[in-house]
Chains A and B, each alone.
Chain A
C-alpha cells in the first residue's frame, strides 16, 4: 500500500459520513435538519481538503497503488463535492423526506460522494469497481427513500435491477481483462493487447458498466423512472455527480490510458454519443413531467459530453471538464426551480411535477421564471449563457479532430432540444397564472439558486477564469 496519504480527503469524508450517521442516534427527529447542516459542512470541509492537495501538488499528488491523484482527478472531485453541497441545500427545503432518517440520508449521500471521489482517481479496475459499488449501493437506497410513495419504490427497484445487472457485466469484463492482461491495473499495459479480441470484449463490457452510471445509450433505460421516483435533491444529485464521475473515468481510460484510437473504438464511441443524445432529445419531446423531461435531457447532455471523449484530443479533454463544470450549475438550477415550483403547486392538481405546475410562473415570480429560462437556455446552448461556452468547446474539439458528422449531429440535436426546453418556458411565460401569489423562497434553496445562476450567467459572459483554470487542471498522471 503506497501513497495512501494521497487519499486523505476521501478518507476524511468517509469518516465524517459515518460521524453523521452516529450523530443521528443522539439528535432527536425534530432537530433532524441539523444533520443536513452537518452533511453540507462535511462536504465543504472535504472540498477544502481537496483544495489543499491542489495548493501543494508535490506533497499531495502522485500515483499510488491503485489511484492517481492529479489536477484532473482533483478537479472532478471538487465538482462532485460542490454538487453534494448544493444538493444538500436543496434537501434542506425538501419537505417530503422523513425527518427520522435524516442521518442515514446524509450519510448515504456523503458515502456515495466518497465513492465518486475514489472513482475519479482510479487507475485500477478493481478499485473502480469497488468505488462504483459504493456509489451504486448508496444511491439505490437514496432513490427509494420516500418509502410511502410507490413511484419512489418503483424507481429504486428498477435502478437496483439494472445496476446489479450492469455490475455483473462489468465484473465479468474485469475478469476477462485480468485473464488476458494478467493485471487489473490500467497503467503500463502492453500495446500488443490492442489486437487481442478477448481484450477488446473485456474493454467493451467494462465500458457498458460505466455507461450505466453515465446514462449512455443503450444503458439509459433506468434513468427516467429512477429520476422521477427519487426525491428531487437525489434526482439532482444522480443526474450530475455519478454522471460526470463516470465521464471522468471514461475520459481517463479512453483518452489517456487506453486511447480509443489505439483500440479502434473511436467509431463505436462516436456512435454511442450520437445515439445517446438523439435518444435523449427525441424522447424528451413527449414528456409532461418535468423530472422525466430533465431526465431525458440529462441523457442527451451525456451524449454531448461524450463527444469530448470521442475527439480524444486536448481540447476534448478540457471540453469534458469545462462542460461538466457548467453542467453542474445549470442542472442543479433547473432541478432547484422544479422542486420549488412543485412544492407549491396547488393541492389535488394531479402530478405536482407536471408541466402545468409551471403555468404563469412569470406572472407570479418573474425572477424565478427568468432564472429557469436561463438554466434551460443554457442547457440548450444559447449564448451568452455558460452552456454555450461548454458546447462551443466540445464542438470545437470534434471539429478539430475531424469528426464533422458527429458535430453536425450534435448541433442538430441542440436545435431539437430547444423545442422541449422551451415547452417549460411556454408554460412559465405564455400560460395564464392560476393566481398572482409569488412563490415562497427558502433561504437555502435561494442560496443554491444564486450559486447556480451566478455560474450560468457569469461564466457565460466572462468565461475566461473558468477556461483558464480548466486548462490548468487538464494535467494528468502518469
Chain B
C-alpha cells in the first residue's frame, strides 16, 4: 500500500483536473479541490489506526529509485515526529479550502495553486531523502507567491516577492549544505536516515558550517529572530485561507527541519548552537509578544503572536530533553489549530466590516455572540489557559527547558504575561464595552464559516483536556531521539 504517496499526490491529481476544467465552472472546481483534500485527509486519519505507537522508527515506508545515477531516491516515511504534522497539514488544507469557498476572483487559478501548495507541504513532512525534501520544500514557494500576490491585500505584490526571495535565500544555502553532506558521507548518500548515522565521522567545524546552511533555511521559515520580518507582511497581505496555511503549516516546516535534520544529523553542531538557540527563542517569545501588543491591526497582532508562539517551540527544542521536544511538537500542533482558527475568525470580521482595526470595534459580544464565543475560546487557548490546547504545549516547553536554562526560562515566562495582555486587550476593545453604533447591523457567522472553524475550536478543547492521545503518537520517537542526550 502506497498510502503516503496517495495522500501526497491526490491533491496533485486534483490540481491537474482543476487545470483542465473551464474557468467558469466554479462549482466543479470547488468540488474537485475539496474532494481531493478530503480524500487526502481521510487517508491520513485512517493511518491513525494503523500507526504503531511503540515503534520509534519510520512507518509506512516507501522506497523507490528516482534518479539512481545521481544517488537520489524517492523515499517516504513517517514517524511520531512527522505523523501528527502530516495530519495537521491535511486537516488545515481542508479547512483552508472550505474557508476559500468565498473566493470569487479567478477561482480556477486559486484552487490550482492551493492544491499544489498542499503537495509540497505534505511532501516535506514525509520525505526521507534530502533532495526529495528540498524539492518539496521549494514546491511550497511558488504557489504561495501566487496566492499572496494575486488574492492578497493592498501591498500584496511586495509581500509576495519578499516572501519568495526571503525563503529562497534561506533554502539555497540549505542546498549547498545538502551537497556538502553528500560529498562528505561514505558512501555518498542523500538518505536522511543513513546520514543520521554518518555524522560521527564529521568534524565539529564541518558540522557547524553545514548546520548554519540548514539553520538559515529553517530559521527563516520558523521564523526565528532576526529573520522574521517577512512574516507579518506576508500574513497581513495574504488572503484569509492562505494566512491560515502559512501559520498552521508552513512555519512548522522550519521547526520540523530543525528537529529532523539539524538535530538528527548534526548533533555536535546542535550542541554548539544551543546557547544561541535559547537566546533566539527567548527573543522570539518576548519580542514577538511585545510587537503583538503594539499592533492595531488584528491580523498583524495574530501574525506577531505566531512569532511569539514559535519561540516556545524553539525554547522546548533548546531544552534538549524528551519533555521539551514533546512540548515543541505539541505546541506546533496546538499553534497550527489555534492560530489557523484565529486567522479564520479575523477573516470573518474583515469580510463583514472591511477593517481589522482593533479600535474601530467595541461591544461586539452582544451583537455577534457566536462569533464572540469562538473568539474568546481561541484567544484563551492561544494565550495558554489551562484546559485548552495552547497550555499543554507551552507548559511542556517550559518544563523541558527549565532543567537546562533556568534564567532564560524565567525571562520567557514574562513573555507569557505579555501574550495574555495583548489578547485580553484585543478582546476587551473589540467585544466588550459599549457597542459601536456603526456595527449595529453586523450579521453573525454563516454556516460555511462555522463548518471551517467549529472543528478547530473543538479540537483545541479536546487535545487541551486530553493531550495523551496526541502525545502517545510521538512518545516512542521522541524518547528514541533524546535517548543519548547528556543531561
Contacts and interface: CB of A to CB of B under 8 A. Distances in A.
A361 to B, nearest CB: 12
Contacts of B69: 464, 467-468, 471
A400 interface: yes
B183 A429 contact: no
Interface string B59-83: 0000001111110000000000000
A393 B179 CA distance: 10
Contacts of A430: 149-150, 156-157
Interface string A400-423: 100010011001101100110010
B422 interface: no
B67 A464 contact: yes
B176 interface: yes
Contacts of B252: none
Given A429-B149, A471-B69, A415 B168 contact: yes
Interface string B102-129: 0000101100000000000000000000
B142 A396 contact: no
Contacts of B68: 464
Contacts, number: 90
B183 A396 contact: yes
A399 B131 CA distance: 15
A411 B173 contact: yes
A222 interface: no
A304 interface: no
Interface string B133-152: 01100110110011001100
Contacts of A383: 134-135, 138-139
B425 interface: no
B106 A363 contact: yes
B462 interface: no
A462 B173 CA distance: 24
A411 B170 CA distance: 10
Interface residues of B, number: 37
B164 A422 contact: yes
A426 B149 contact: yes
A446 interface: no
B161 A382 contact: no
B43 interface: no
A251 to B, nearest CB: 20
A392 B175 contact: yes
Contacts of B65: 464
A348 B169 CA distance: 40
A363 B108 CA distance: 11
Contacts of A384: 135, 138-139
Given A408-B176, A426-B157, A429-B149, A463 B109 contact: no
A411 B176 contact: yes
B172 A412 contact: yes
Interface string B18-30: 0100010000000
Contact of B176 (A407, A425, A429): A407
A399 B142 contact: no
A377 interface: yes
> Binding site of B, secondary structure by majority: helix, strand, loop or mixed?
helix
Interface in B34-72: 65-70
B179 A464 contact: no
B420 interface: no
A390 to B, nearest CB: 12
A401 to B, nearest CB: 10
A393 B141 contact: no
Contacts of A373: 142
A172 interface: no
A264 B92 CA distance: 57
A200 interface: no
Interface in A254-309: none
B182 interface: yes
A415 B139 CA distance: 15
A362 interface: yes
A120 to B, nearest CB: 23
A418 B67 contact: no
Contacts of B109: 362, 366, 429
- The residue among B106, B134, B179 with the most chain A CB atoms within 10 A of its own CB is B179
Contact of B172 (A411, A429, A462): A411
A396 B131 CA distance: 12
B473 to A, nearest CB: 30
A393 B131 CA distance: 12
A418 B164 contact: yes
A463 B132 CA distance: 13
A229 B179 CA distance: 41
Interface string A365-396: 01000100100010000111000110011011
B180 interface: yes
Given A419-B161, A430-B150, A399 B183 contact: yes
B165 interface: yes
A201 B295 CA distance: 65
Contacts of A366: 23, 108-109
A363 to B, nearest CB: 7
B176 A418 contact: no
A384 B9 CA distance: 14
B206 to A, nearest CB: 12
A462 B19 CA distance: 21
19 contacts: A377-B142, A382-B142, A384-B135, A392-B70, A396-B183, A407-B179, A411-B173, A411-B175, A415-B165, A415-B168, A415-B169, A418-B168, A419-B161, A419-B165, A422-B161, A429-B109, A430-B156, A464-B68, A467-B69
Interface of A: 362-363, 366, 370, 373, 377, 382-384, 388-389, 392-393, 395-396, 399-400, 404, 407-408, 411-412, 414-415, 418-419, 422, 425-426, 429-430, 462-464, 467-468, 471
Given A392-B131, A399-B176, 13 more contacts: A388-B138, A392-B70, A392-B175, A408-B176, A415-B172, A419-B161, A422-B164, A426-B157, A426-B161, A429-B146, A430-B149, A430-B150, A464-B65
Interface of B: 19, 23, 65-70, 106, 108-109, 131, 134-135, 138-139, 141-142, 145-146, 149-150, 156-157, 161, 164-165, 168-169, 172-173, 175-176, 179-180, 182-183
The 6 closest A-B pairs by CB, nearest first: A411-B172, A383-B135, A399-B179, A467-B69, A415-B169, A383-B138
